């Protein structure tokens, strides 16, 4: 059944020429060289190459922009940039210091949110309330996702309603003498890269990103300009472990697990998944396969908070080619019909939510389905070498293997792991 699904159909960003040459979860270096020699852009090929020797032969795209004399601090996913005339906080997450404990010169003039996950927004409400003059910047879709949980924080509601500037992708906006532009980052609906420009200063912050289709969201947009400094999310990633850009590694295991459950005679399936991102990735894998004729009798939908998040995906992408072409079904976990699969929020205790008066024959709880929403090693290698910059710094994790790979290819790279420590790239490079 699944053998009839073309691999390229499971990833909107996978060129057919690359799909034809994928082998064992990646693209061989010789195949990559052949594609590039025949005119395929390097950026379309590189995210699929896992061969380390090939990467060591690649050259970083270096920038003519100067390495700015600015101060950078990180607290896990949170970044603080001290620029001339403006202090910018990016993603005030749970590791950020208490806003009431900040020294005066670190109080924010601008707060930028890259995406709506809690590890990037946990203290947004408190920071916005403590510093009401600070302009909050995010994409409209990120604001929409955050608005789904306003009942949990009245302060967040005030932030979104009174102090938040919703920027369109690619539109520059001047705030406190600083040009801010958001670019698509993939990974999650509304996720953004942040471009900051000032006289003699050019910085790009990736946030969490992916170069492949994730949950029906197209991969990150490559920036057209150069930067003195790029801050790239560096969650632990190793060359030998998924995610890979090859959908046979990322999406096919989801499909096989569901198919095997159906073949075992289970016609009512429950899949717990993280509501923002992983639930939509599971859904996208199944729907894209169904568009190719696989699992035709299975109705796939959502229940609980996952359904509210998915409604925002449909609002953004409904009617467009891909996973969100038609509106997803809203299914009731308490009374599933035959031939249905419901995706519910992880942590619901779905096995306890199955009603006792409902026959449990042919019901199966599918836990632990691999729903990869972050970029893998090859994707980050491609980004780290392919974006034009002078210095690249990794934050939000200890990606030692990634740093070694980038350095071996000639990229000036640092890892920012010590929380709150001051780093000045101009003094180091």
Least confident range of 242-251, 344-353, 399-408, 414-423? 344-353
pLDDT given at position 296: 93
CA distance 426 to 60: 19
pLDDT given at position 351: 57
Domain parsing of the chain, residue ranges? 71-240+374-428, 247-365
Least confident range of 16-25, 165-174, 225-234, 292-301? 16-25
Average pLDDT, rounded, for the chain = 93
Q: Residue 356 — pLDDT band, cuts 50, 70, 90?
A: low
Q: What share of the chain is helix, strand, coil (3-state, %, to 5)?
A: 35, 20, 45
CA distance 223 to 210: 14
- Model pTM score: 0.95
pLDDT given at position 397: 85
Across 149-163, 210-224, 413-427, which has the greatest mean pLDDT?
A: 210-224
Phi, psi of 382 (to 5 degrees): -60, -45
pLDDT given at position 256: 96
Q: What is the mean pLDDT of residues 165-176?
A: 95
* In contact, 270 and 344? CB cutoff 8 Å: yes
pLDDT at 24 over 90: no
CA distance 429 to 418: 19
pLDDT at 267 over 90: no
Q: What is the mean pLDDT of residues 32-53?
A: 96
Name the architecture of domain 71-240+374-428.
4-Layer Sandwich (3.60)
| Percent of the chain whose predicted confidence (pLDDT) is above 90 | 82
Q: What are 291-345's pLDDT values in tens digits?
A: 999 999 999 999 999 999 999 999 999 999 999 999 999 998 888 889 999 999 9
pLDDT given at position 124: 97
The CA distances from residue 421 to 79, 80, 105, in Å, are 11, 11, 15
pLDDT at 353 over 80: no
Q: What is the mean pLDDT of residues 112-119?
A: 97
Q: Residue 2 — pLDDT band, cuts 50, 70, 90?
A: confident
The CA distances from residue 370 to 23, 67, 181, 279, 366, in Å, are 20, 40, 33, 11, 11
pLDDT at 378 over 70: yes
Q: What are 63-103's pLDDT values in tens digits?
A: 999 888 899 999 999 999 999 999 999 999 999 999 999 98
CA distance 21 to 248: 13
pLDDT at 147 over 70: yes
User: 């199944």: which residue's tokens?
Assistant: 286
Q: Which has the higher per-residue pLDDT, 352 or 72?
A: 72
Q: Residue 357 — pLDDT band, cuts 50, 70, 90?
A: very low
The b/e string for 151-179 (b: 16+ C-beta within 10 A; e otherwise) is eebeebbbbbeebbebbebeeeeebbebe
pLDDT at 349 over 70: no
Q: Which residues pair with 203 in a beta bridge?
A: 196, 229
pLDDT given at position 249: 93
pLDDT given at position 77: 97
pLDDT at 128 over 50: yes
């Amino acid at each position: 059944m699944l053998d009839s699904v073309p691999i390229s159909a499971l990833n909107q960003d996978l060129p057919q020429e690359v799909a034809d040459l994928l082998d064992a979860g990646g693209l061989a270096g010789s195949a990559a060289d052949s594609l590039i020699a025949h005119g395929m852009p390097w950026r379309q090929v590189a995210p699929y190459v896992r061969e380390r020797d090939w990467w060591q032969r690649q050259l970083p795209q270096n920038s003519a922009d100067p390495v700015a004399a600015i101060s950078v601090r990180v607290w896990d996913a949170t970044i603080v940039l001290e620029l001339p005339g403006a202090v910018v906080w990016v993603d005030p997450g749970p590791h950020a210091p208490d806003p009431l404990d900040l020294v005066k010169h670190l109080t924010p003039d601008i707060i930028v949110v890259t995406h709506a996950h809690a590890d990037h927004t946990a203290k947004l409400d408190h920071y916005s309330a403590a510093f009401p003059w600070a302009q909050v910047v995010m994409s409209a879709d990120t604001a929409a996702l955050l608005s789904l949980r306003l009942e949990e924080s009245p302060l967040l509601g005030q932030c979104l309603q009174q102090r938040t500037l919703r920027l369109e992708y690619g539109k520059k906006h001047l705030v406190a003498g600083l040009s801010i532009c958001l670019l698509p980052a993939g990974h999650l609906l509304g996720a953004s890269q942040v471009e900051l420009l000032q006289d003699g200063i050019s910085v790009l912050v990736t946030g969490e990103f992916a170069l492949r289709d994730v949950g029906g969201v197209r991969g990150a947009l490559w920036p057209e300009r150069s930067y003195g400094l790029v801050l790239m999310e560096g969650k632990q990633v190793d060359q030998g472990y998924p995610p890979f850009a090859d959908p046979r590694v990322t999406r096919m295991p989801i499909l096989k697990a569901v198919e095997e459950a159906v073949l075992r005679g289970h016609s009512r399936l429950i899949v717990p998944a993280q509501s923002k991102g992983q639930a939509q990735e599971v859904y996208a894998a199944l729907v894209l396969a169904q568009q190719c004729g696989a699992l035709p009798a299975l109705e796939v939908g959502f229940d609980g908070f996952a359904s509210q998040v998915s409604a925002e995906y449909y609002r953004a992408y409904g009617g467009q080619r891909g996973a969100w072409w038609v509106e997803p079904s809203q299914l009731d976990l308490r009374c599933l019909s035959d031939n249905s699969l419901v995706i519910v929020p992880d942590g619901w205790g779905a096995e306890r939510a199955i009603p006792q008066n409902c026959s449990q024959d042919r019901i199966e709880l599918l836990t632990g389905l691999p729903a990869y929403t972050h970029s893998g090693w090859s994707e980050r290698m491609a980004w780290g070498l392919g974006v034009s910059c002078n210095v690249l710094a990794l934050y939000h994790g200890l990606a030692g293997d990634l740093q070694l790979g980038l350095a071996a290819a000639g990229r000036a790279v640092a890892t920012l792991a010590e929380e709150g420590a001051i780093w000045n790239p101009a003094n180091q490079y």
